[in-house]
Amino acid sequence: IVADDLYGDVKRSRAFEWAYQLADLGRPVDHKKWGMTPQTVNAYNGGLENRIVFPAGILQPPFFDISADPAVNYGAAGAVIGHEITHGFDDQGRRIDSAGALRDWWTPEDAKRFAEQSARFGAQYDTYEPVPGFHINGKLTMGENIADLGGLLEALDAYHVSLQGKPAPIIDGLTGDQRFFLAFAQAWRNKPREEAI
């Protein structure tokens, strides 16, 4: 690292990372390696390794708070957990079996239904225009779209099960489901600069 050479620093760090990754070629998989640092606020589904990783960084507000209302934790952290689980069954994850091998393990009937349903889902996303003049490419973003919706639905179901048949309390005038969806929205809110969009 050279204090007055940002370009050189980036170039050298990329070369280091490339060499680090190449060093793994031809070696057995190191199951102790993570694709993220513990402080990273993110998560991932390592399908080929048959694991889901939640670094410590995401297990803090706004995603998780041990003292928070359960609806809030299910809406934020629960949706992330469900999202990563769902990746195991999305357009890419469905092609990886329980041992982490690339293999289409679905029945032809299930694969056909999946293709039909995901085409309809992608067409829905194609209609979204987050920035004027720019539409989402539903086919390109399919895995994330499936994981987002699946994770949210799984977390909502889990929240309802956690209530054990009892009604959720009303807190600050909001129902449990309202707090769930509010927490989901608040966990992902951001305000990007115009240049970033």
In the three-class reduction of DSSP (H, G, I as helix; E, B as strand; rest coil), residue 84 is classed as: helix
Could you give phi then psi for residue 109, rounded to 5 degrees? -65, -45
Task: Given the residues 69, 84, 90, 154, select the one marked as catalytic.
Answer: 84
User: Which of these, 114, 147, 117, 122, lies nearest to 45 by C-alpha position?
Assistant: 147
Q: Is 177 annotated as catalytic?
A: no
Question: Which one of 49, 97, 148, 177 is the catalytic residue?
Answer: 148
Phi, psi dihedrals of residue 13, rounded to the nearest 5°: -70, -35
User: Residue 133: which region, alpha, beta or left (left: phi > 0; alpha: psi -120 to 50)?
Assistant: left
| Active-site residue flag, 110 | no
Alpha carbon distance 7, 46 (integer Å): 32
Element (H, E) at 53: strand 51-53
Query: How many Cβ atoms are within 10 Å of 150's Cβ, its own excluded?
Result: 19
Contact 125, 134 (CB under 8 A): no
Give the residues across from 44 on adjacent strands.
53
The residues carrying an active-site annotation are 84, 148
